[in-house]
Amino acid sequence: MGPLSSGLHLSQNKAFVKRTNTFHINKDWVVLTATQANQLKKQMGNKAAQAKMKKEGQAYVTAQVTAAMKQDPTMSKAKRAELVKTATAEFQQQAIKKMIAGLK
């Protein structure tokens, strides 16, 4: 019998020997070990950390909106709402990166 195209390897007695899986991920993704993922889950579930993150997030968003309002005092409510949404997303990305950096 010829080699199998699926990447499986069989010994002479047709017993399964090993399987190799290769995963390719984007460079902007973060790879965590199971231990790191559990630590992150524990940190995210911590009520004190959540309260601190919420307070910091509100301060960050308020600062971003205030700075934008100084540049454009006639900013519409729709633009402010979009800015709040964008600033919130930025803060969340920064907070997660900061938490992950603390795990390693």
- pLDDT, one tens digit per residue, over 31-62 is 888 998 898 888 888 899 889 999 999 999 99
By residue count, the chain amounts to: 104
pLDDT at 11 over 70: no
The mean of the pLDDT values for the chain is 85
Can you give the pTM of this predicted structure?
A: 0.65
69-77, Cβ contacts within 8 angstroms, sequence gap of 24 or more: none
pLDDT at residue 10 in the model: 55
> Scanning the structure block, which residue is given the tokens 């700075």?
67
CA atoms lying within 13 Å on the CB side of residue 19: 7
Residue 102 phi, psi (nearest 5): -75, -15
Question: Quick one: pLDDT band at residue 8, thresholds 50, 70, 90?
Answer: low
